Each structure stands twice: as C-alpha cells, then as structure tokens.
C-alpha cells in the first residue's frame, strides 16, 4: 500500500471582475449630463437672440471676444492692468481714455466696460422719448391730456422710437364711416399730439391702420383708405402747429397688422404717430 497524507488539496478560484460596461455602468450619466447642459446653453442663446437689440448683441459679442484683451479702459500706468495687453501686438493707450476712443470702428456703437452701456447720445434720446410719454400719460405729474382722450391712447417704446397709438372704440370712431373725414375726437387728439410732440425736436412718422372688410367686396378699400387717413392725420398735425418738415413718412398699412384677434373689430381702426429716434 502507498503512503497516505493528511495535506488538504489546494483549490484555486478565479473570479472574473467586470468594471463598468453594461447597463450597470455610469458612463451614460456623464453623457446625459453633457447633453442637458448643451441644451440649456442652446435655449439660453435662443432667448438672448430674441430678447436683445442689435446693439446689445454687438456689445455682448465684443465683451466675450474683445478687440483688446485685459481691460477696455487704460489706467494710465504700466503693467498688465495699467494699459498694456498680454499680446505684444495690441496695446491700450496709456492715457486713461481706452482703446475704443483711440481706434473707433463699426462696432463702437457698443461702449462701456461691459459693452452694453449706452453712451450720452442714447441717454439723451431716451430722455426725449420719456418727456413725450410722461406728458401724455402724466407719470411724473399732471397729464397734458384729458381723461376722455386718454381712453383712445396707448404708447410703447421700440427701436424705431415712441409709438403713440390713437384708436377708435365701438360707437366712438376717429373718422366718419367709410371715409377719411375726421371726427371732432380725432381733431382734439391731433391738436394734443402736436402740442406734446412739440416738446422735442424729433422727426415724426404716421401709419394708418383700418379694420378688415368682408371678402365678398369686389374692391376692398383697405389700402387706399388707410393711406388717405394717415395723410389726413398729417394735415391735421400741421394745421395744429407741427412743422411740415418734421413728418418723414406717411404710410397706409391697410388691415395687415390687426391690433386684436378679430380683424373686423373697430379697435383695428387706428393711427400710429411715431416720435422717431434721431439717426446716429
């Protein structure tokens, strides 16, 4: 018989370790987070494009990609923050004025340390529009307009200027039915507009809008009538004291831009007197 032994046999176990991969891994979470971040940035970009003016967009672009790095305005000294750029070919003038004034270009409309601040001319322009609007609505004191007339006026400020909208109401028209003969209400409104816009020297524009007419009409009068009413408003303003050379544009808009959902509503019979911004 062979010799026996008490030594236990050696058993080797090999365990296969799987790290990551499969549906138990976390790599997809990182990719998903990157996707959500990119979508958020995309929608913020779309919102900014829709909510800003052309001048503000130029300022934002200039802020994130400045023509001269480090700082826009020189401190007048030496060193990185005293007027010298980190790039040898670009230097801010070391006289405390900043590169924008020394080397103006087409994008110089957007000024200031952030690139979106308005300059003195823009501030004066806004002040002129504010003067007219406050005189109409009485935001800074008593209004120059009677309460009965205020029911037919709304204002809004746009890139073009201050739009003063004069509109008809049911039973209270601006013109006689079917024509361009002004009612006493419109005569009072144009006298008031002439007086208020006389507070500033800005040029004016006039747009005429009318309600839609039934499509069964053989000859729709919308274009001719809206133009005639806009031009009659010009004549009323001039008769009330507005200098003729201030009116730069008279336009008939027909029924193409209704003010309310119902295109045939009387509220769409309206006039727009625009206090234009001065050209830059």
pLDDT in tens, 36-46: 999 999 998 88
Rounded to 5°, the CA angle 194-196-197 comes to 65
Neighbour tally for 260: CB within 10 Å: 12
Residue 4: inside a domain: no
Q: Does 257 lie in the same domain as 163?
A: yes
Share of the chain above pLDDT 90, in %: 42
Q: Does 124 lie in the same domain as 61?
A: no
Question: Which one is predicted more confidently, 24 or 129?
Answer: 129
Q: Does 271 lie in the same domain as 159?
A: yes
pLDDT in tens, 201-231: 999 999 999 998 877 666 778 899 999 999 9
Q: Does 145 lie in the same domain as 82?
A: no
Range 268-272 average pLDDT: 96
In this model, does residue 270 exceed pLDDT 90?
yes
Residue 10: inside a domain: no
Residue 58 and residue 109 in contact, taking contact as beta carbons nearer than 8 Å: yes
Domain count of the chain?
Answer: 2
pLDDT at 111: 44
HSE-CB of 100 using CA atoms within 13 angstroms: 18
Residue 172 and residue 246 in contact, taking contact as beta carbons nearer than 8 Å: no
Q: Does 92 lie in the same domain as 188?
A: no
Q: Does 124 lie in the same domain as 49?
A: no
Token output for 259: 């003010």
pLDDT at 65: 66
Domain boundary at 78, 109, 140, which? Answer: 109
CATH number, domain at 266?
A: 3.30.1330.60
Q: Does 185 lie in the same domain as 80?
A: no
Residues contacting residue 118 through CB under 8 Å, at least 6 positions apart: 111, 112, 126
Q: Does 186 lie in the same domain as 80?
A: no
Detail the DSSP E strand segments found in the chain: 153-157, 161-167, 204-209, 247-252, 270-276
Q: Does 244 lie in the same domain as 192?
A: yes
Q: Does 152 lie in the same domain as 263?
A: yes
Domain that holds residue 66: 27-109
Residue 275 and residue 135 in contact, taking contact as beta carbons nearer than 8 Å: no
Q: Does 151 lie in the same domain as 216?
A: yes
pLDDT band at 144 (very low <50, low <70, confident <90, very high): low
Burial label for 164, CB within 10 Å (0-12, 13-18, 19+), is: buried
HSE-CB of 177 using CA atoms within 13 angstroms: 2
Helix (H, G, I), strand (E, B) or coil at 239: helix
In this model, does residue 119 exceed pLDDT 70?
no
Share of the chain above pLDDT 70, in %: 67
Helix (H, G, I), strand (E, B) or coil at 2: coil
In this model, does residue 184 exceed pLDDT 90?
yes
Residue 6: inside a domain: no
Quote the CA–CA distance of 146 and 120 in Å, as a whole number.
34
Range 101-107 average pLDDT: 45
In this model, does residue 94 exceed pLDDT 70?
no
pLDDT band at 51 (very low <50, low <70, confident <90, very high): confident
Residue 15: inside a domain: no
Q: Does 182 lie in the same domain as 73?
A: no
Q: By C-alpha distance, which of 267, 270, 198, 260 is closest to 233?
A: 270
Rounded to 5°, the CA angle 160-109-66 comes to 140
């Amino acid at each position: 018989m062979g010799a026996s032994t008490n030594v236990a046999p050696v058993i080797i176990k090999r365990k296969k370790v799987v790290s990551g991969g499969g549906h138990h891994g976390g790599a997809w979470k990182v990719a998903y987070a990157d996707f959500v971040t990119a979508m958020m940035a995309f929608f913020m970009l779309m919102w900014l494009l829709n909510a800003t003016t052309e001048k503000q967009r130029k300022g934002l672009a200039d802020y994130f990609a400045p023509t001269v790095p480090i700082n826009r305005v020189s401190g007048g000294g030496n060193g990185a923050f005293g007027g010298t750029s980190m790039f040898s070919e670009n230097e801010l003038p070391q006289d405390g004025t900043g590169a924008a004034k020394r080397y103006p270009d087409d994008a110089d409309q957007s000024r200031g340390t952030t690139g979106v601040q308005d300059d003195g001319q823009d501030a004066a322009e806004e002040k002129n529009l504010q003067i007219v609007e406050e005189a109409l609505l009485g935001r800074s004191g008593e209004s120059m307009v009677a309460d009965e007339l205020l029911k037919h006026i709304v204002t809004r400020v746009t890139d073009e200027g201050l739009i003063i909208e004069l509109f008809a109401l049911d039973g209270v028209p601006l013109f006689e039915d079917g024509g361009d003969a002004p009612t006493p209400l419109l005569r009072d409104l144009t006298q008031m507009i002439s007086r208020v816009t006389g507070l500033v020297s800005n040029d004016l524009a006039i747009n005429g809008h009318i309600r839609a007419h039934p499509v069964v009409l053989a000859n729709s009068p919308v274009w001719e009538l809206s133009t005639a009413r806009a031009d009659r408003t010009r004549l009323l303003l001039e008769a009330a004291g507005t200098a003729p050379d201030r009116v730069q544009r008279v336009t008939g808009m027909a029924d193409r831009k209704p003010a309310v959902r119902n295109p045939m509503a009387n509220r769409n019979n309206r006039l727009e007197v625009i206090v234009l911004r001065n050209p830059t």
